[in-house]
Structure 1
């Protein structure tokens, strides 16, 4: 093949690839298709046996520096709740209306060690709720004498994921349909040396919180179960 013809063919292929990439470039945020997200309003300050503790006695761990959080997330919510027995739960929710490669959610097993915590264990599990089963990740962290078991799950669009591959495939599926998915990370933790007890109480907390949400928002947080 003559060099001129070969170069022309390469140019045509490059232009075609660019046109295809542009044609399937996602442009519509799915966050704009549903009810507006206002975490402070969506999540009740009291539900079941839990109420927000106005004066937090527990130091909550910030998953990233403020400037990074402001860049990645559209909204964040951090509260401490206490039940009738005095047990405290720390709830943190991070929401981003643009869940693409440059705006990826940061996970607790990365954020906690970055702040000096020791990651002692990580396992996948199921959170059984009245609305269905939510696949979650449970990790155990420690800082000095402080043990902090954590339960969290991630939602992209309308699906909960435990693994990065499934999450990436969902993002690609939305992208091929011209849509930009939103994402949410829900983290529940407590300072407790009894890990099994902590996870049990965290499951109870999650159930009561989800039951108190309006159906539309419940589906947004539990992956449309």
Structure 2
């Protein structure tokens, strides 16, 4: 005779298997156009900003490394403004992952910077203004290592969502799984070394806003999702 406990265990296992099957992604949501790359999507010159001499920063790929598994495409650049003396530089990183799941997911700067010896000194959640009626949920933070202070502005996109926190990011992945799809994602990060006592947040926010407005309309969804890309197209 089957014990009641065995029946309960069997029912629990069956329920778990059913839930896993229900949450298994059945389709992909990919907003980066086929054949496109981050290097081509993000303009190399806009609003007086341009890539410094030497072009994009070469980022060596190590097969099997965490970065190679998380991101299928990355671009890193240093921009300088034509009106400046060259001392003000904005470092841009755009890291794209074709599939965001519980195993492979974007790493937020709040995690990455401390992992390499930085201490987060300040962090703010903001709505980055791009155009009238259009904002991007973003994060501003300052990180310090010794005498080096770096100010950062960034956002993350998972599918059509732009989660500002790790908790938001987990919730977005769960909703996607319940809807039966897995989305692609991108981390867009701009940073500056602080030269004085005040944070560089205003410069970074303006830089990112101008970059988005200068990005081709057909490619904006890859950076900020379809809803905000459509809103910008109507501005």
User: Do both share a fold (TM > 0.5)?
Assistant: yes
Worse overlay, 73-82 or 196-205: 196-205
Q: Hey, what does 2:181 align to over in structure 1? A: 179
Q: Match of 1:118? A: 119
Counterpart CA distance in 2 for 1:123 and 1:163 is 11
Summarize the Cα distance change of 1:188–1:111 in structure 2 as closer, same or farther, 3 Å threshold.
same
What is the distance in 1 between the residues matched to 2:151 and 2:51?
20
Deviates more, 1:179-188 or 1:143-152: 143-152
TM-superposed CA distance for 1:39, in Å, is 0.4
Cα distance between partner residues in 2 of 1:198 and 1:158: 28
2:232 corresponds to: none
- Contact preservation (8 Å) 1:100, 1:171: yes
Structure 1 residues 9 and 128: CA distance shift in structure 2, 3 A: same
What secondary structure, in the 3-state scheme, does the structure 2 residue paired with 1:55 have? coil
Question: Offset of 1:23 from its aligned partner?
Answer: 3.8
Deviations 1:164-222 (A, max 9, x none): 22222221111112101111111100112346561111112111110111223213312
Query: 1: distance between equivalents of 2:138 and 2:105?
Result: 18
Contact 1:77 1:92 in 2 (8 A): yes
- The Cα offsets for residues 14-34 of structure 1, whole Å up to 9 and x where unpaired, read as 234413422431132212x76
- How many angstroms apart in 1 are the aligned matches of 2:155 and 2:197? 18
RMSD over aligned Cα, in angstroms? 2.8
Task: Give 1:142 deviation, angstroms.
Answer: 2.1
Q: How many pairs does the alignment contain?
A: 220
Q: 2:231: which partner in 1?
A: none
Map of 2:148 onto structure 1: 146
The 1:10–1:188 alpha-carbon spacing in structure 2 relative to 1, beyond 3 Å, is same
Which structure 2 residue ranges, 5 or more long, are not aligned?
229-235
**Contact in 1 for aligned 2:155/2:189 (Cα 8 Å):** yes
* Alignment equivalent of 2:169, drawn from 145, 159, 167: 167
Cα distance in 2 between the residues matched to 1:60 and 1:197: 28
1:218 counterpart residue number: 220
Deviation at 1:114, TM superposition (A): 1.8
2:80 corresponds in structure 1 to 82
Match for residue 73 of structure 1? 71
Q: Indicate how the Cα distance of structure 1 residues 72 and 34 shifts in structure 2: closer, same or farther if over 3 A, else same.
A: closer
SS of corresponding position for 1:222: helix
| Aligned match of 1:29 | 28
Q: TM-score, normalised by structure 1?
A: 0.85
* Greater Cα offset, 194-203 or 139-148: 194-203
1:129 aligns to what? 130
| The 10-residue stretch of structure 1 (148-157 or 33-42) with the greater mean CA deviation from structure 2 | 33-42
What displacement does 1:112 show? Answer: 1.5
TM-score by length of 2: 0.82
Partner Cα separation in structure 2 for residue 76 and residue 204 of structure 1: 22
